[in-house]
Structure 1
Amino acid sequence: MIEKIAVRVIRKWMRKGNMARAMRDILPRSSLSFEEREQVARIVHDVVRYKLYYDYIMEKRGMKKNAENYVKLSLKKPKVNTPYHIRNSLSLKLAEVTPREFIDIINREPDTVLCVNLAKIDRDKAIEELERDGIDAEEFIPESAIKADSKARYSSLIKNGLAIVQDSSSQIIAKLASSLGEEVLDYCAGSGGKSLAMHALNSNLKIHAYDINERKLKSLENRAKKWEMNVYIFYDKPSGEFPVVLVDAPCSGVGAAARNPEAKYQEDFEKFAKMQMEILNEAKENVKSHGYLVYVVCSYTPWETENLIEEFLNKAPYFVPQEIKCEYERYIKKGNYGAYILAGDIFYVSVLRRE
């Protein structure tokens, strides 16, 4: 039954794209247990993660490229010598700019990490509550993070507004941004993941939020109530200046390929860079003198990271890059004008001070 459901999901993904939606459409309607659904999800992720590799094998063996054969290869995991970009299932353009040390990160099975609302419950008690529910859990970084069994996604902690599912790298960035001042404008807030994490880590922080998508801001408003967090929402472009402006910009998402392996097959990264530059140029107007502009993307492509910041600084020389100071050196890789956070998803962060 597990293989049959996996085939159905892969078939739908091949027909319509969007792996996550294909799983949402099929898994809840199946009669599978939670553990069986997790097995299906692992098979589906593996197929999408290594699609180019499995394509290569099927072509060499004269096999049809259908869902049944993708699932068979995923379960057998044959080893075949192939070119670098095929072995790791990367688009040619992405393969050219992917450091080998990042390969294991984007091709691994991701951990389930929670962000604990430290304003409502301390982490030790949160771990105890998970363990009472039969969920294995342990401390992770930063101090708001818990690494847990995947069942934690459906735990009472989540239902009661005591935690959210959030990658550890995201939480480290939230800690960094929340440490730079007493007031933050979350400029690309979306549905509020970074805002919730900043409040969890610093409940005295005054948080403002803006996003072009009003529906996401409504979601943030509802999540903030459940989180018991005050947030000042801009439904129109923000006015005024702030000591810290966080720009978690829309991006290619290749840094989150472990969770969303479809990101590995992209080629047009310049379209994201153009949009990111437009957002930075807007957001910089909201930064106070001697305040900070914190630029973040879940990507490592040069077009969206170092090259973009270099171009921005050439046009706005009154912003000065700051050293990324972080206590989690093991998970930090220095880059030009910023650093890469490698605790979970791969993020690039650049902290720019307005002179």
Structure 2
Amino acid sequence: MRFHHNLLQATVDALHQIFNEGKYADQAIQRILKRDTRWGSRDRGFIAETTYDIVRYKRLYTEIVGAGTVYNSRDLWRLTAVWIVLRGHALPAWEEYYNTPVRRIKGKFDELSSQLVYKESIPDWLNELGQKELGDLWAKEIAALNNQAPVVLRVNTLKSDLKTLKEKLIAEGHSTTTHDDFPDALILNERANVFKTDAFSDGLFEVQDAGSQKIAPYLNPEPGMRVLDSCAGAGGKSLHLAAMMENKGQIIAMDIYPSKLKELKRRAKRAGAHNIETRLIDSTKAIKKLAGKMDALLIDAPCSGLGVLRRNPDAKWKLTPEFIEEIKTTQQEILQSYSRVVKKDGTLVYATCSILPSENEKQVEQFLSSEAGAGFELQESQNMYAHREGFDGFYMARLIKKD
């Protein structure tokens, strides 16, 4: 494999922003990719994927090179050397790689790989938590979460269908695969920037992981229903609901961030989704006004995000035990507060992109044993794991309000 100095320099600069300046990986990479307009898709892909790989295995690579918590330029170049060597490539004859101990890198890798915290590159506290909550599943799941995530599209059935979209993408140079368990999904056979396609501009699809595509259908939405998406964010699931409801009925998409709701409006316009109304959560009055009026409620709760580490590998290094405890409190508060909007015989779906039972099953159990949850019954729940389904990790539970 031939390496280009300017691309690895860009990778080093991205790593500096992520490791030393605390920038989010996706933001740092996007900033770096704007540096040189001459870079093609292959160049840009190399920078992004190499950076993500090194972030993913930060602890392992750092231990191999013996770097500290602050990375100087030499440290960062040594991390890229480890990445190259462990992939079986010869190091380029560049000044940055002079006197690199290739044999020592391989030996140190073999030595460290017997320990899960180094092999899968995770903090000690997270490994202890994962083992405590998931037992034997933890090692399988964290290994799967270190794999690169596939690019999955969801056809927008308001404007197209799976067969038509597949053909249009082929015409634009992108081949895809369908999946029997995900009726609206197309999986890209090769990674590509699909946001530049005419099919995307025309609103024929959204990029949405297959696991995430399971959540809206879990509500059993029907045309004409009134649905509240209580933590809508930029609206991926609201858009899916709009398509399933054939633009009939009402979807109220709420969030505490105006910028996310603004993005939702932009996406809804492109998708031709006309039954979505955005509302900013700026007080408890927003919920009180809807008490007992909604046929269905989706709580896509804020969470640790451990189920989507493949897409956000730097989250391993930003998460703290304290944050997870705080977010569990928030999850229960949202369940207690928002559940009042569901009318009799209505549906509540609680979902997270976490794999921890304490954020999932335990939260539902706590809610059902509370006064606010006394009128609800758990109808069904489902866990999705990266090591089993091959997509992001998710949890969803469907509750029916009986009283």
**The structure with more radius of gyration:** 2
Equivalent in 372, 380, 398 of residue 323 of structure 1: 380
Equivalent in 4, 9, 14 of residue 4 of structure 1: 9
* Pair 1:145-2:189 in alignment: no
Amino acid at match of 1:107: N
Correspondence for 1:267: 320
* Pair 1:20-2:26 in alignment: yes
SS at 1:280 equivalent: helix
Equivalent in 66, 70, 76 of residue 67 of structure 1: 76
Deviation digits for residues 26-47 of structure 1 (CA, Å, limit 9, x no counterpart): 1122232111110111111111
Correspondence for 1:95: 127
Q: Is the 8 A contact 2:384 2:392 kept in 1?
A: no
Matches within 5 A, 1:21-60: 21-30=27-36, 31-59=38-66
CA distance in 2, matches of 1:12, 1:324: 40
Amino acid at match of 2:121: S
CA distance in 2, matches of 1:343, 1:200: 25
Q: Is the 8 A contact 1:270 1:303 kept in 2?
A: no
Correspondence for 1:130: 169
* Pair 1:293-2:359 in alignment: no
Q: Structure 1: which 5+ residue stretches go unaligned?
A: 326-330, 334-339
Q: Is the 8 A contact 1:321 1:351 kept in 2?
A: yes
Q: What's the offset of the Cα at 1:332?
A: 4.6
SS at 2:159 equivalent: coil
Q: Aligned residue pairs: how many?
A: 342
Q: What's the offset of the Cα at 1:10?
A: 1.0
Q: Is the 8 A contact 1:138 1:146 kept in 2?
A: yes
CA distance in 2, matches of 1:70, 1:308: 40
Decide which moves more: 115-124 or 199-208.
199-208
1:324–1:14 distance in 2 versus 1, CA, 3 Å: closer
Q: What's the offset of the Cα at 1:347?
A: 0.7
CA distance in 1, matches of 2:384, 2:32: 38
Equivalent in 346, 349, 354 of residue 396 of structure 2: 349
Deviation digits for residues 121-160 of structure 1 (CA, Å, limit 9, x no counterpart): 1111111111111112122342211111322243221111
Correspondence for 1:171: 213
Correspondence for 1:242: 294
Q: Is the 8 A contact 1:53 1:86 kept in 2?
A: yes
Q: What's the offset of the Cα at 1:168?
A: 0.7
Q: What's the offset of the Cα at 1:349?
A: 1.0
Decide which moves more: 148-157 or 257-266.
148-157
Q: CA RMSD in A?
A: 2.3
1:205–1:177 distance in 2 versus 1, CA, 3 Å: farther
CA distance in 2, matches of 1:301, 1:252: 9
Q: Is the 8 A contact 1:178 1:202 kept in 2?
A: no
Identity of aligned residues (%): 30
Q: What's the offset of the Cα at 1:253?
A: 1.0
Equivalent in 112, 118, 131 of residue 157 of structure 2: 118
Q: What's the TM-score, normalizing by structure 2?
A: 0.79
Amino acid at match of 1:11: H
* Pair 1:283-2:338 in alignment: yes
Q: Is the 8 A contact 1:178 1:205 kept in 2?
A: no
CA distance in 2, matches of 1:352, 1:90: 35
CA distance in 2, matches of 1:193, 1:139: 20
Q: What's the offset of the Cα at 1:15?
A: 2.0
SS at 1:245 equivalent: strand
* Pair 1:208-2:247 in alignment: no
Q: Is the 8 A contact 1:115 1:163 kept in 2?
A: yes
* Pair 1:86-2:118 in alignment: yes
1:121–1:311 distance in 2 versus 1, CA, 3 Å: same
1:54–1:324 distance in 2 versus 1, CA, 3 Å: same
CA distance in 1, matches of 2:66, 2:56: 18
SS at 1:323 equivalent: strand
CA distance in 2, matches of 1:310, 1:324: 12
Q: What's the offset of the Cα at 1:81?
A: 3.0
Q: Structure 2: which 5+ residue stretches go unaligned?
A: 1-5, 87-105, 131-137
Q: Is the 8 A contact 2:384 2:395 kept in 1?
A: no
Deviation digits for residues 163-195 of structure 1 (CA, Å, limit 9, x no counterpart): 111111111112222447833211111111101
Amino acid at match of 1:223: R
Amino acid at match of 1:37: R
* Pair 1:161-2:200 in alignment: no
CA distance in 1, matches of 2:301, 2:81: 38
Decide which moves more: 92-101 or 266-275.
92-101
Q: What's the offset of the Cα at 1:343?
A: 5.0
Q: Is the 8 A contact 1:299 1:305 kept in 2?
A: yes
Decide which moves more: 234-243 or 156-165.
234-243
1:245–1:342 distance in 2 versus 1, CA, 3 Å: farther
Q: Is the 8 A contact 2:7 2:47 kept in 1?
A: yes
